[in-house]
Amino acid sequence: MSVPILTIDGPSGAGKGTVSRLIAQKLGWHYLDSGAIYRALAIAITEKGLAIDEIDAIVNTAEDMDLVFQCDTKRHITLDGHDITEQLSFESTGNTASKIAAIPEIRAELLQKQQHYKQSPGLVADGRDMGTVVFPEAQYKVFLTASALTRAKRRYKQLKEKGIDANLSEITADIQERDQRDSEREFSPLIPAKGAVYIDSSDMSIDQVVEEMLSLVQ
């Protein structure tokens, strides 16, 4: 029996994480946060003191990585037995993740890890290349975006709520730099999958986005 898949690709801050989790919950499907896999690898190599150009060592680290996603009342992610939930959301983690994500050997190593999440009764897969490369066979594909300023404001609010000091113009510049690197890289660039439904969430609430996506699947 084929497993239904909804892929949600788009730039960071478009609301993919929140929306994907809600949809997975509503449908009772599994959820793949592929960005967290790249981020976890970024943490693992930083802890080992590896440089971005030590590709073989990074690939080996990716191969050995024991990553566990747990979800009770809150989400907990452990890497090789230790909790990395907080570190995952650091800006520095996202930046390192985006640099290693441009390296084809690393993407190839992480491909199967991601494809293992395709399990019954269904999967919501959130990332940059879910509909184009990892699950090209998916029945439902969405490209979710929002303006850079909207995304920066959302990120700013999130950081402030966590008590982390933040600067809106720095966050906007950071988002633009990451968008450019993710969209212009040679391997698996961030582009809408063929046939993907395009949703701009700049002026939409989370509930509106969720409703629109659910109407595609149901």
83-89 contacts, C-beta under 8 A, 24 or more apart: 84/40, 84/43, 87/43, 88/36, 88/39, 88/40, 88/43, 89/162
Rank residues 30 and 178 by Cβ distance to ligand C5P and give the closer one: 178
Selected from 7, 61, 98, 132, the binder of ligand C5P by CB under 6 A is: 98
Binders in 133-172 for ligand C5P, by CB under 6 A: none
Selected from 6, 8, 12, 141, the binder of ligand C5P by CB under 6 A is: 12
Pull the structure tokens for residue 174.
Answer: 């950071």
Q: What is the contact mask toward ligand C5P in residues 66 to 95, using x (rule: CB under 6 A)?
A: ----------------------------x-
Q: How far is the CB of 119 from ligand C5P (least distance, A)?
A: 18
Minimal CA–CA distance to 187: which of 138, 122, 133? 133
Q: How far is the CB of 9 from ligand C5P (least distance, A)?
A: 7
Angle (nearest 5°) at CA 132 between 128 and 71 = 50
What stretch of H or E contains 70? strand 67-71
SS3 51: coil
Angle (nearest 5°) at CA 111 between 105 and 114 = 145
The reply on whether position 35 binds ligand C5P by CB under 6 A is: yes
The reply on whether position 128 binds ligand C5P by CB under 6 A is: yes
Selected from 117, 178, 193, 201, the binder of ligand C5P by CB under 6 A is: 178
Q: What is the 3-state secondary structure (H, E, C) of 19-31?
A: HHHHHHHHHCCEE
Selected from 34, 61, 145, 201, the binder of ligand C5P by CB under 6 A is: 34
* Interacting residue ranges for ligand C5P, rule: CB under 6 A: 12, 34-35, 38-39, 94, 97-98, 101, 127-129, 178, 182
